[in-house]
Chains A and B, each alone.
Chain A
Amino acid sequence: MKTSTFFSGLVLLALSACSQSPDINNDTMLDGDIIFDPSLYQPELYLVSAAIATPSTVQKNTPVVIAVHGYSATTYEWDEFRTYADAKGDLLVSQVLLGGHGRTYEEFKKSTWEDWQEPILTEYNALRAKGYTNINFAGSSTACPLVLDLIQKGIIGDNGMKHLFLVDPIVVSSDKTLTLIGLVGPMLGYLETTNTPTEEGHWYRFRPQETLQQLLKVIDLSRKELQKGFKLPVDTQVKVYKSIQDPTADAVSAVLIYKGLKNSDGTNIGMEMIDSKLHVAIRLNGRDNVTQLDRDNQLHIFDDMHALLTQ
């Protein structure tokens, strides 16, 4: 989730009567009815379950990473990791598109967080059914509370996943006025964000207030689940990578995960604070003003994930 400022939305409301329908440019925006996420056309290029009809024994034992993007994004968010993994040659990557995402504004608008979560479980079950033995998860931002909910409910159970990599997980939004979306959202209709030209085709520019309410719902649920506390399944490890100055997912989200989520034996999970001002530090393509530190951080996270996956 890249934040426009919600406050700007409030000001906008004060200044003018807000239109309930955004002005979508179909030719350039993901929000329109021409540009869709490519995984919808060619799932075999994104999903391991679709790419390999009958996996060999070697493939079944190769680490498979289910890589999942965040709120309002698409599979594009994990493209650089796929490129990295392909170069390494010893990982399989399954890029999952969240439900309701990568389609039209209207389809996004009517989706719920449970819809967003569903394709993660579908791919996980498909991989299990095909006999993969080394299934892993890598999620950014909103993908993290979605998978944590599956863990907390026991839907992903013992010996189901080996590693969970949580990149800039969101449990608390940086923009605290999101907590008021239930009150002001219906008056605003939607919020507009700023995308770079590259991002325009991969992220929604307009965020329906209904989906912001769903976002608040799932992160609030995650916060409460963590507040009660729960353990990982047996044989599952977690590593969290969190930008210290994240303008979208407040870094305190890492504190809440660390306190609330424990290994199956009660020990602490893996945690690394990253010296970064980016939200989702593993995605650099399409951003303006990428620094060498950003590149170093991205490579460090990929290398660390790779080392853990192949140890």
Chain B
Amino acid sequence: MKKIIDLSFLFLLFAFSVQAQSSSNDEGMLGTLKGGVRIQKAQKLYWENGFALDYANPKILDSRIHFGASYATSRLGSALGSNAIKQDNYLLSAAYHFRHQKALQPFARLNLGYFHADYEEAVFDVLPNSAFLTSIDAGLYYEFKIPLTICLSAGYNLNAGTGIAGPGTLFPVFYQMSVFYTIF
């Protein structure tokens, strides 16, 4: 837990330092980078929380396409102080934003990544506990006048566990909220 707090602190420090340096840079060259927290809930399963980055550049389809990276884990959610399985989601994503010049932007997103669950005991080594992730989600993205953005979405994992293949705690339907701070 201490490691995670330390990492969060370093991340924020990095974000503020990049923002300070970027004021003299050409905004159009760099695009827009946002970093923040992600809160995720799988339907009938765990809360998995973590961090997310969001990047858009006016040179790429006039900022209609956003690229993202995220890490969400039950270690920062349901597994905190409970017997929930510790599991991690690492995702890279590409989203298409509609109404991209407005404050409120509906979007659709494709996510690819990796999932790992820690079953902890050797007796469960025979069970699948990791998988490549492919999911889609759609939702709303709202940019406040202050450098904050909130993003809400609902999604579907295309390769949820089936009992025969795939990790059993990889569930299909999930809901997400991300709150971003604009780094530059």
Q: Which of A172, A249, A253, A272 has the most CB of B within 10 A?
A: A172
Interchain CA distance A226-B84 in the complex, whole Å: 8
B113 part of interface (Cβ distance < 8 Å): no
B61 part of interface (Cβ distance < 8 Å): no
Residue from B120, B126, B160, B161 in contact with A273 in the complex, judged by beta carbons closer than 8 Å: B126
Interchain CA distance A174-B160 in the complex, whole Å: 10
Stretch of A22-30, A120-128, A240-248 with 4 or more beta carbons under 8 angstroms from chain B: A240-248
What residues of chain B lie closer than 8 Å to A216, measured between beta carbons?
Answer: 44
- Main DSSP-derived SS at the B contact region: loop
B108 part of interface (Cβ distance < 8 Å): no
Interface residues of B in 70-127 (CB under 8 A from A): 78, 82-85, 117, 119-121, 123-124, 126-127
A259 part of interface (Cβ distance < 8 Å): yes
Stretch of B30-38, B132-140, B164-172 with 4 or more beta carbons under 8 angstroms from chain A: B164-172
Task: Tell me if B167 and A252 are in contact (CB < 8 A).
Answer: yes
Residue from B124, B164, B173 in contact with A255 in the complex, judged by beta carbons closer than 8 Å: B124
Give the bracket for the number of chain B residues in contact with chain A: 20 to 34
Task: Tell me if A227 and B78 are in contact (CB < 8 A).
Answer: yes
A-B interface pairs (CB < 8 A), number = 85
Task: Tell me if B169 and A252 are in contact (CB < 8 A).
Answer: yes
A112 part of interface (Cβ distance < 8 Å): no
Given A172-B168, A179-B43, A273-B124, A246–B163 Cβ distance below 8 Å? yes
A302 part of interface (Cβ distance < 8 Å): no
Given A172-B168, A179-B172, A179-B173, A252–B85 Cβ distance below 8 Å? yes
CB-defined interface of A39-78 with B at 8 Å, one 1/0 digit per residue?
A: 0000000000000000000000000000000000000000
User: Which A residues lie at the B interface, using CB under 8 A?
Assistant: 172-177, 179-180, 216, 220, 226-229, 244-256, 258-260, 271-273, 277
